[in-house]
């Protein structure tokens, strides 16, 4: 997904990369190893046209959603870039291709956090008939959920699938399913679990307002 950086990149592209970096750092509580590549000539940048941007980052905290790795590619972006004060504004909501990776630790921290534990508890109620999600593990490229009700703990193997742009959990014992709530503008193309990492490929649009 990530192409090789442009050799001999112009000063405008470098200024613009710095402007986007500032925006991303402002949006995220935490972001590491952030790499940005602008694929555009100086003339295109002056005209406010960016054929392609690629972004790579690790260890991201965005609104208490934790991502181990994100690879992003946006194309045909329209911008206003003020060179004097380095102010950057997007004139359209660019279409974006995403590759997102979650470790067991990240999934667990999200679903047990104060902001997002309602999702974990809803999963327990809907497909496990329990009140509370206590733990989640990735074992042999499968999800295992541990939940409880009146201190009665239960472990279930859960299948994670994507269909028509959505993500579903299915209890392999009772065949009950649960639709994971995600933003409507995010379309899930596929997902898989490889080497104990949940990897999601998706399309979306984004705006900085």
* Out of 121-135, 157-171, 174-188, least confident range: 121-135
Q: Where are the domains of the chain?
A: 11-92, 105-201
Question: Which phi and psi (to 5°) does residue 47 adopt?
Answer: -80, -5
Asked if 19 and 88 touch (Cβ cutoff 8 Å), the reply is yes
Q: What are the distances in angstroms from CA 69 to CA 32, 176, 199?
A: 9, 30, 9
The pLDDT of residue 47 is above 50 = yes
Cβ pair 158, 169 in contact under 8 A: yes
Show Cβ contacts of residue 96 under 8 Å, excluding neighbours closer than 6 positions: 72, 73, 74, 203, 204, 205, 206
Q: Could you give the dihedral angle defined by the CA atoms of residues 23, 27, 28 and 33, in that order, rounded to the nearest 10 degrees?
A: -10
What region does 37 belong to: left with phi over 0, alpha with psi -120 to 50, or beta?
beta
Quick one: pLDDT at residue 82? Answer: 65
Convert the pLDDT of each residue in 80-123 to its tens digit.
766 666 566 676 677 899 999 999 999 999 998 888 989 888 88
**pTM score, two decimals?**
0.81
| Chain mean pLDDT for the chain | 85
Which distant-in-sequence residues (6+ apart) come within 8 Å of 43 by Cβ?
A: none
């Amino acid at each position: 997904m990530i192409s090789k950086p442009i050799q001999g990149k112009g000063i405008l592209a470098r200024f613009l990369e710095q402007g986007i970096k500032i925006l991303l750092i402002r949006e995220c509580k935490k972001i590491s190893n952030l790499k940005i590549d602008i694929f555009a000539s100086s003339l295109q940048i002056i005209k406010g046209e960016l054929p392609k941007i690629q972004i790579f980052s690790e260890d991201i905290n965005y609104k208490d959603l934790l991502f181990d790795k994100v690879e992003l590619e946006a194309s045909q972006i329209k911008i206003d870039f003020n060179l004097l004060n380095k102010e950057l504004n997007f004139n359209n909501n660019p279409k974006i291709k995403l590759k997102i990776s979650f470790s067991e630790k990240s999934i667990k921290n999200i679903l047990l956090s104060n902001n997002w534990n309602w999702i974990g508890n809803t999963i327990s109620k809907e497909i496990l008939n329990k009140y509370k999600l206590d733990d989640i593990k990735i074992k042999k490229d499968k999800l295992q959920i541990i939940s409880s009700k009146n201190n009665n703990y239960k472990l279930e193997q859960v299948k994670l699938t994507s269909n028509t742009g959505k993500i579903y959990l299915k209890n392999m014992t009772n065949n009950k399913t649960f639709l994971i709530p995600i933003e409507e503008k995010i379309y899930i193309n596929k997902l898989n679990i490889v080497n104990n990492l949940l990897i999601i490929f998706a399309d979306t649009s984004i705006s900085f307002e």
